[in-house]
Structure 1
Amino acid sequence: MNIHKNYNKKFMKNLNSQNNNHTVVQSAGNLTGSSETIRQLSSFKNDNRSSDIRASWFNPWLAGIIDGDGNFDLRKLNKKITLKAIRIKVHVRDVRILTKIQDMLHFGRVRYDKKNPYCTYIVSRQEHMRTVINLINGLIRLKAHSFKKACTFLNIMFRPADYTLKALDPYFAGLIDSDGTIVFNYQGNRIECVLELKLNEFSKQLNLDFVVPNYSPSVYHVRNGAIQFKYQRVNQMIFLYEYFIKNRLFCCMKFYRISKIKYFLTIRHYQKYAKHSLEFRIYASFLVDFIKYQNPKWPRVPFVKNLILDKEIVQNDKQ
């Protein structure tokens, strides 16, 4: 009986192997049919995987970028509103934002302005603009007025966005990548995240109380007609760090500063030590590194003059 069982197992194994080989031979033999089908199936799987990735973080992040630095180029032609292009303009320092978008979408072009330190990502083909509009529909908040006109031109039903951001929404990272700043408040001895927007009917609806878990911003109406959202509490800095570790920034300077929060919390009390102490030297070195990364104007920052560094540290900073 054991001999028969082993024989049957061996027979079924060989039969399965032959069936598998037969399938492979058929696919390879039909160069215009079966292999193309396999390629399409593979592409379909990859497209689904890419769609899942975009749906999870890219779409809301892109909406945040466009709400910050984007523009829907709407023009009136033959008495009709026409969408000519979708543009995103950033400083040359932040060109990685544009190349990331281009890599994810696989279309559009990045143009470098030789006269000004800016780069622009441009989508002008109608089928590509339609793709972008569909990806961010229901996510645009600050530029809803022009976005709605773009939807009308492309015959896409406009979906309004929820202005109360849910916890860990990547849209907030897109806004900070484009319009936000990560700054050091020397007097308060803390790292702050500040988002300043033009005050209008859309920005005043924006609710950021829940997007960074355990950390709601202070909201200010500024005299120049702007609204500011400030994350400026010492005890909650770690929550800001954790949000951006999960939703990373593609502005390298901002992400570099955010990445320093965890270490800073271990040395921030060194600010109160004597100016020539080792502790203050550690604090001063950290702060100079923090403020000068990708910032050629760092010596002009007012609090830098408060940092008394020895010759070795100053020499290293100059290098």
Structure 2
Amino acid sequence: MFISGFLVKPRSSQNGVSKTQSAGNQRHTSSLVGTSETTCATTYPKSFCEWLAGIIDGDGSMKVSKQGETSLEITMGLEDLPLLRYIQDMLGGSMKMRSGAKAYRYRLHNQLGMMKLIHCINGHIRDSARLLQLHRVCQVLDIPLILPITLDAQSNWFAGFFDADGTIGFAMKNRLPVRGSLMIRVTNKHLQDVESYKVVFGGNIHFSSSQNGYYQWSVQSRKDVLILLSYFQSSTFRSHKSRRFFLIEEYYSLYDLKAFHPESLNHKAWLAFLDKWKKLMI
């Protein structure tokens, strides 16, 4: 069947169909949409492909030039240069510091590299805007688009998307931590792009009207935070801010000892903890 210029192959997976938005009135040739069974062999581990798709969904973009050349760009802050270097080591490509911005831009644009990339992330991209970009690239490279697979608690996509759009923090008042304020958050402009976190890990989703509006998923109870910490211990995060996951258990331990009080015998340990925590600010 044809939908807005695309030839769509219905998905037969028992996990159901992930819906995508219309791509508008396209003048390009139609392209197939398939299931995970149509995936071509890739040289990259599945865990890396899932994680990379999360990074691209959050901080990347895929483009097709007027000349029909495809490319991938990922832009992240200076503190995440090691993360971008890791991607460059895996995929090839180039790196450049953005003039006037405290950020680096990674870029991949050779055709062979892009084809290997698409076979890697196809079926794992799910951000609304990024899925449309992927479809356009797939048209040029003559690769059937694979609809995003259903996520579960073993998927490394959550780690990649957190590395891009997540934060960990807690509130302080009068130099004391606010009870129950340790929070893990992920934000995005589109509701459907944070809903998977709530489905798999619980928590809540709130809408904020600031910055032209965005949705924020968060977990705040100790039980929910520790569930996500368990996921962290079985997945690979690579962002600068994700190192705070290693400090969560120490935070709870020192909080239970009330080490934040100046008169506490453990106050020096609390101050040392704060120093480590602040060094991981973004």
Q: If the TM-score is normalised by the length of the shorter chain, which range does it land in?
A: 0.7 to 0.9
Deviations 1:116-156 (A, max 9, x none): 22111111111111111111001100011111111111111
Tell me, in whole angstroms, the C-alpha distance in 1 between the residues paired with 2:280 and 2:260: 28
Deviations 1:98-125 (A, max 9, x none): 11112222x2111223542211111111
Shift of 1:73: 2.1
Tell me, in whole angstroms, the C-alpha distance in 2 between the residues paired with 1:165 and 1:158: 18
Q: 1:259/1:274 Cα in 2 relative to 1: closer, same or farther (>3 Å)?
A: closer
In the other structure, the counterpart of 1:35 is none
Q: Report how many aligned residue pairs link the two structures.
A: 233
Amino acid of the residue matched to residue 69 of structure 1? D
Contact 2:243 2:280 (C-alpha < 8 Å) held by counterparts: no
In the other structure, the counterpart of 1:258 is 245
Q: 1:122/1:273 Cα in 2 relative to 1: closer, same or farther (>3 Å)?
A: closer
* The structure with more helix, counted as a fraction of residues: 1
Contact 1:110 1:121 (C-alpha < 8 Å) held by counterparts: yes
Corresponding residue to 1:178 among 155, 159, 164: 164
Corresponding residue to 1:245 among 233, 238, 246: 233
Shift of 1:171: 0.3
Corresponding residue to 1:64 among 51, 54, 66: 54
Tell me, in whole angstroms, the C-alpha distance in 2 between the residues paired with 1:64 and 1:100: 15
- Describe the SS at the equivalent of 1:116: coil
Shift of 1:248: 2.5
Q: Percent identity between the aligned chains?
A: 26
Deviations 1:204-223 (A, max 9, x none): 6x422454xxx412111222
- Describe the SS at the equivalent of 2:154: coil
Shift of 1:177: 0.7
Tell me, in whole angstroms, the C-alpha distance in 2 between the residues paired with 1:158 and 1:248: 26
Shift of 1:83: 4.2
Q: 1:273/1:104 Cα in 2 relative to 1: closer, same or farther (>3 Å)?
A: closer
Corresponding residue to 1:73 among 63, 77, 98: 63
Q: 1:272/1:134 Cα in 2 relative to 1: closer, same or farther (>3 Å)?
A: same
1:208 equivalenced with 2:193 (yes/no) = no
Question: Which structure: larger Rg?
Answer: 1
In the other structure, the counterpart of 1:45 is none
1:277 equivalenced with 2:264 (yes/no) = yes
Structure 2 unaligned segments of length 5 or more: list them.
Answer: 1-40, 172-176
- Describe the SS at the equivalent of 1:286: helix
- Describe the SS at the equivalent of 2:197: coil
Tell me, in whole angstroms, the C-alpha distance in 2 between the residues paired with 1:266 and 1:272: 9
Counterparts of residues 26-37 of structure 1 (less than 5 Å): none
Contact 1:68 1:175 (C-alpha < 8 Å) held by counterparts: yes
Structure 1 unaligned segments of length 5 or more: list them.
Answer: 1-47, 298-319
1:149 equivalenced with 2:140 (yes/no) = no
TM-score (norm 2): 0.74
Contact 1:91 1:118 (C-alpha < 8 Å) held by counterparts: yes
Contact 1:189 1:268 (C-alpha < 8 Å) held by counterparts: no
1:123 equivalenced with 2:113 (yes/no) = no
Q: 1:208/1:273 Cα in 2 relative to 1: closer, same or farther (>3 Å)?
A: closer
Contact 1:190 1:232 (C-alpha < 8 Å) held by counterparts: yes
1:188 equivalenced with 2:179 (yes/no) = yes
Tell me, in whole angstroms, the C-alpha distance in 2 between the residues paired with 1:273 and 1:93: 28
Tell me, in whole angstroms, the C-alpha distance in 1 between the residues paired with 2:147 and 2:179: 39
Which structure is higher in RCO with an 8 Å CA cutoff and minimum separation 6?
2
Counterparts of residues 157-176 of structure 1 (less than 5 Å): 157-162=144-149, 164-176=150-162
Tell me, in whole angstroms, the C-alpha distance in 1 between the residues paired with 2:226 and 2:65: 45
In the other structure, the counterpart of 2:203 is 217
Shift of 1:255: 2.8
Tell me, in whole angstroms, the C-alpha distance in 1 between the residues paired with 2:107 and 2:252: 41
